[in-house]
Amino acid sequence: MSKLTDKELLEELQHRFSENKRSVEELSALTKQLQALNDKLKESEKIKSLFLANIRNELNDPLTSILGLSKNIQSPDNDQWEKTRAMAALIHAEAFNLDFQLRNIFAAAELESGELVLEVVQVDVYTLVKNVVDMYAHQLQAKQLEVKYLDNADSAVKRLFKTDPAKLQLIVSNLLANAIEFSYPQNEITITASIEKNTLHLLVKDSGIGMKAAEQELIFAPFTQLDKGSVKLHKGHGLGLSIIKGILEVLSGQMELTSSTGKGSIFTVCIPESVTEADHFASGGNELFFTEGEWFLRTNTWK
């Protein structure tokens, strides 16, 4: 074995130091990746725990009400039909709320697993939005809210838009449900829909409590509500806006929020028309799992 010169020895040491430094850097990078993965797993477990904690009452309360009311309605007195009708209306309201919660839960699960599938058809946007408003008639009546629906299309043809009606309906439903929940009683909710340059622009404006600028980014995270504590003033589990955000990502859409404390909120959604061929037509879709005949309550909530 030949003896190394001082120069060769220094070069060998430098080479080994470089290799050692590279190994340390690679190990450090791998450690950071493992830490990030561990943080995601912890976040996932946290979300699951929050899901169970938030959703329990949202499902149990309507089910308990439906069971109790339906039991009382089985044997009505002859002179208490108005009471029976009121209980039937409450059963409908609770069942509607339960169905809405389940739709959000299933949509959240599909988004989380990456299994959200689009079914694109030609949608009558005006009719779809109007149907959603009609479905919320009982909640609008309860708070004495009126809906002003503006549509700038001058013909039925210009109201047609290629997209997934079920996903669009869920977006509108969540926006309207939020507007109803956070609006002051005896006020107005404005909805506008327009199709311009193959893009659907949907705006929902409420006359409610509004929020600070610092709070506006927080509400799009799953299970996040500004109203916290053991006694909440507002219902819900904080899924709606995160679901809208997830659906819009699949539809390549965007959402903007304009709000200030005490002056209400304006949610603006923009969805590009799908490039997928659509042979079928949907006037509005069915919001509920089970087809029903007439609503228990019908009110004129339109201006």
Q: Is 290 inside a domain boundary? A: no
Give the relative orientation of helices 240-251 and 81-113 as an angle to the nearest 10 degrees.
50
Q: Is 148 inside a domain boundary? A: yes
174-179 average pLDDT score? 93
* Residue 179 burial (CB count, 10 A): 26
pLDDT for residue 240 is more than 90: no
Q: Enumerate residues 6+ apart whose C-beta is below 8 A from 100.
A: 173, 177
DSSP element (H, E) containing 190 = strand 188-196
Structure tokens that stand for 242 in this block: 């995160």
DSSP element (H, E) containing 271 = strand 265-272
Measured CA angle at 110 (ends 99, 239), to 5 deg: 55
Looking at residue 297, what DSSP letter applies? -
Measured CA angle at 89 (ends 84, 93), to 5 deg: 145
Reported residue count of the chain is 303
Structure tokens that stand for 218 in this block: 């927080």
Q: What is the pLDDT of residue 299?
A: 35
pLDDT digits (tens, 9 = 90+) for 24-39: 888 888 888 888 777 7
Q: Compute the mean pLDDT over every residue in the chain, rounded to the nearest whole number.
A: 77
Q: Alpha-carbon distance 245 to 242, whole Å?
A: 5
pLDDT digits (tens, 9 = 90+) for 69-118: 777 776 656 567 777 777 777 887 878 888 888 888 888 888 877 888 88
Q: How confident is the model at residue 229 (pLDDT cuts 50, 70, 90)?
A: very low
Measured CA angle at 206 (ends 204, 207), to 5 deg: 160
Structure tokens that stand for 232 in this block: 């909440």
Q: Enumerate residues 6+ apart whose C-beta is below 8 A from 262.
A: 209, 210
Q: Alpha-carbon distance 101 to 177, whole Å?
A: 11
285 vs 196: which has the higher pLDDT = 196
Place of tokens 């002056």: 263
Q: Is 54 inside a domain boundary? A: no
Domain ranges, residue 128: 121-282
60 vs 298: which has the higher pLDDT = 60
Q: Alpha-carbon distance 98 to 289, whole Å?
A: 11
pTM tops 0.75? no
Number of structural domains, the chain? 1
Q: Is 22 inside a domain boundary? A: no
Q: What is the pLDDT of residue 231?
A: 45
Looking at residue 283, what DSSP letter applies? S
pLDDT digits (tens, 9 = 90+) for 135-156: 898 889 989 999 999 876 666 6
pLDDT for residue 127 is more than 80: yes
Percent of the chain whose pLDDT exceeds 70: 70
Q: Is 16 inside a domain boundary? A: no
Give the CATH number for residue 266. Answer: 3.30.565.10
Q: Is 86 inside a domain boundary? A: no
Q: Alpha-carbon distance 261 to 212, whole Å?
A: 6
- The distance from CA 272 to its chain's CA centroid, rounded to whole angstroms, is 18
Burial (Cβ within 10 Å: 0-12, 13-18, ≥19) of residue 62: buried
Pair 141, 92: CB distance under 8 Å? no
Q: What is the pLDDT of residue 301?
A: 42
Q: Enumerate residues 6+ apart whose C-beta is below 8 A from 93.
A: 138, 139
β strands within 97-187, DSSP E? 121-124, 146-151, 160-163
Percent of the chain whose pLDDT exceeds 90: 28
Q: Is 274 inside a domain boundary? A: yes
Q: Which of 186, 113, 227 is nearest to 105 (CA)?
A: 113
Q: Is 53 inside a domain boundary? A: no
